[in-house]
Structure 1
Amino acid sequence: MGYEDKLASLGVTLPNAPAPAANYVPFVKIGNIVYVSGQISNDETGLITGKLGDDMDVNAGAAAAKRCAINLLAQVKAACGGDLDQLVRVVKLTAFVNSTPDFTAQPQVINGASDFLVEALGEAGRHSRSAVSAAALPLGVAVEIDGIFEVK
């Protein structure tokens, strides 16, 4: 079963790769490594905004992180000429959580992305990561994640 078939079985259809919002490229491919720029938490209805520890709980934050992971995969698919099955593995995620100074559950929020990637990609979805707090994120989004991926 290909990755997109597995995603479909999970009820996930990858969106078109989001365009960059400023003067940068959405990904850079060097050899068999793809570096994907930060993907913000948004879905087909718009931005997923909020501040963890204030107006958003861990479960909502984890759902926002999952949406970032979906957007990351959309960028990887674009980097591979539309063939997500060129993905070999997720190497590393760097995740930013819009949170209050006393909020300390950033890892649990980012588990929304990590758990989804392992569920969708199996062993290829296991990765190293960082999960850190941010005082604010662009457009007030709850989560932003960038990633490094190995491809064929």
Structure 2
Amino acid sequence: MRVVIQRSKQASVTVNGEVTGAIENGYVLLVGLTHSDTIEDVKYVAKKVSEIRLWEDEEGKMNHSILEHGGDILSVSQFTLYAETRKGRRPSFIDAARPESALPLWEAFNEELRALGLKVETGIFGAMMDVSLINDGPVTIIVESK
């Protein structure tokens, strides 16, 4: 499992002209899943996302998690995070999990974040989405389960 965390001042996802999820302050998560991912990967990454310290304290050091700082999550499924680009000019997505296994894991990931106390908005799995955000910092971090 691979998640790109983008600290955001504002973000939204639009599908076919309709906003499906929006946050004012928090993280935009681009969530990629691969064939070998399990519920243990989901739990590990959700805990890491909720506890990673990406918010500044009074001294300007990244010492606060999103749980301590406050903020919401905008979770967007993103199979292209597992693109293989070493050969040729067209990326291969063979390492991305098939939708029938990726969708339940993405949904479980979002539920795990909610269980940890976070408000989670989402895009629509498998849809063509327009993701808009104001990256705060910019702070962009990649978290992987393996």
TM-score of the pair, normalised by structure 1: 0.38
Q: Which has the higher strand share?
A: 2
Structure 1 or 2, whichever has the larger Rg, is 2
**If the length of structure 2 is used for normalisation, what is the TM-score?**
0.39
Q: Which has the higher contact order (CA 8 A, sep 6+)?
A: 2
* More helix by percentage: 1
